[in-house]
Structure 1
Amino acid sequence: MKQVWNDLLFAHWPVNEDELLPHIPQGLELQTWEGKPWITAAPFYLSHLRLRGIPSLPFASHFLELNVRTYVMRKSKPGIFFLNLEASSRLAVAGARTFAHLPYHFADMSAQYENDKTTIHYASMRKQTNTDDTIFSGAYKPVGTSSYQAQPGSLLHWLTERYCLYTLNSSGQILIGEIHHLPWPLQEAELRLDTNTLTNYHGFPLKSDPTLISYTKKLEVFFWPFQKF
């Protein structure tokens, strides 16, 4: 499967291991950087989604997405584990939950551009029962026009340059999905965060602004079918 990720913000927070560990499935090892696990929120606009050999499907090839992920390892292979994913396409959500076993949810989402399309006002709200709504809203923009790649050995490289993700199938078995893309073309960024309750229902609210942020204008990404691992 191919996707293109556009106007993506990486917002990273260190969190307490005791709060995050209960959400990591048995068989995956929670990774830490200098003793702390990290959470990342990534809002973006997804486009050109299509399966190999099949044209893009109407109403499911372009939509807004926001994911919350952390960093894990299995059999010495580092990867990503998603705590939740939100998308503005009901069809895409149904397909991802059914065929990729990923925790997608439909959300009311919007992205508005201003200042010659350099500032993105991004909002996502997922209605929930018996808990507070899951809300992310704010505005972000790149700083300058030059991009860079994260240096190997740096925290930013550890957070971004990962080429597989893990999930569970309906039987509780761990699946791995391999990912391919060029190194992230990162830019410095600014973020005004208005509301963030993305992790509240997991039991650990993110009470502060992110420690580290970056922006990527565009990245083509390829996914291989999930396999048991």
Structure 2
Amino acid sequence: MTWLDLCFLHWPVPPEALAPSLPPGLQLDLWQGQAWVGIVPFRMAGVAPRFSPDMPRVSAFPELNLRTYVTAQGVPGVWFYSLDAAQPLAVRLARRLFHLPYFDARMWVDRRGEITRYASMRTHRRAPEGHFAAAFRPVGPVFQAAGGTLEDWLTHRLALYSADRRGRLYRGQVHHDPWRLRRAEARIAENTLAAPLNLRLKGEPHLLYAQRTEVRADWLTPVRVSPEP
């Protein structure tokens, strides 16, 4: 698949605000003692099984995720609280095959020059409300985040975690080249994605932008969770 026009919006939050929301076997990954919540709007293209052709009207759609950063057995990764998408079939396949909290949404994306305008309203039945509207653009030169920096810690995540209805934990590996990042500016008109976590994401977020990256995702593998002592 190809990921396009990504904006990484991140806010620091107290670890105790997120720790109870994680399933057994996952621990929050902290940066200098602080947890982080990220919102990432972007577009997907070329979504299809490996060596298969694109499927018209299925392989390209907007996506918006709310996430935090975790570890299991020493492997850092991403834990998603929600993933909104404007493709109903993709939502159902991801929920069934990857145990990810995908939700149907009505979404609108418009890019003119370097400015991307992005809006999403969750429409999934029995799902918590989730609205987001923002405009963002990159600023400054392209760079690759150096190891040991916050920018590298926030974006260099090559694993995702999910849990099924029984609470069994899974890990999926993701493969792509190092991010070609730029700084970014954003104006957020509406954002209720973190409300189900009883979080208010206040203040200016940490902002990064990536125009394009080619991605390959592996199937999930179970994560063995040690029993509580």
How many residues are aligned here? 223
CA–CA separation in structure 2 for the residues paired with 1:5 and 1:15: 27
Q: Which runs of 5+ in 1 are unaligned?
A: none
TM-score computed with the length of structure 1 as normaliser: 0.93
Q: Which runs of 5+ in 2 are unaligned?
A: 224-229
Kindly indicate whether the alpha-carbon contact (under 8 Å) linking 1:30 and 1:37 is maintained by their aligned counterparts in 2.
Answer: yes
Where does residue 24 of structure 1 map in the other structure?
Answer: 22
Equivalent runs, 1:45-60 vs 2, <5 Å: 45-60=43-58
The residue type equivalent to 1:124 in the other structure is S
CA–CA separation in structure 2 for the residues paired with 1:218 and 1:8: 8
Equivalent runs, 1:1-229 vs 2, <5 Å: 3-114=1-112, 117-127=113-123, 133-144=129-140, 146-210=141-205, 212-229=206-223
1:131 CA displacement: 8.6
Percentage of pairs with the same residue: 39
TM-score computed with the length of structure 2 as normaliser: 0.93
Q: Secondary structure at the match of 2:152?
A: helix
Q: Secondary structure at the match of 1:201?
A: helix
Give RMSD over aligned pairs: 1.6
- List structure 1 segments (4+ residues) > 6 angstroms apart after TM superposition: 128-132
CA–CA separation in structure 2 for the residues paired with 1:26 and 1:159: 23
Cα deviation digits, residues 95-116 of structure 1 (max 9, x gap): 10011110000111101122xx
1:162 CA displacement: 1.2
CA–CA separation in structure 2 for the residues paired with 1:130 and 1:160: 31
The residue type equivalent to 1:57 in the other structure is M
The residue type equivalent to 1:109 in the other structure is M
Q: Secondary structure at the match of 2:46?
A: strand
The alpha-carbon distance between structure 1 residues 131 and 175, as it changes in their structure 2 partners (threshold 3 A), is closer
CA–CA separation in structure 1 for the residues paired with 2:121 and 2:203: 19
CA–CA separation in structure 2 for the residues paired with 1:131 and 1:205: 19
Cα deviation digits, residues 195-220 of structure 1 (max 9, x gap): 1111001211213221x111111000
Q: Secondary structure at the match of 2:95?
A: helix
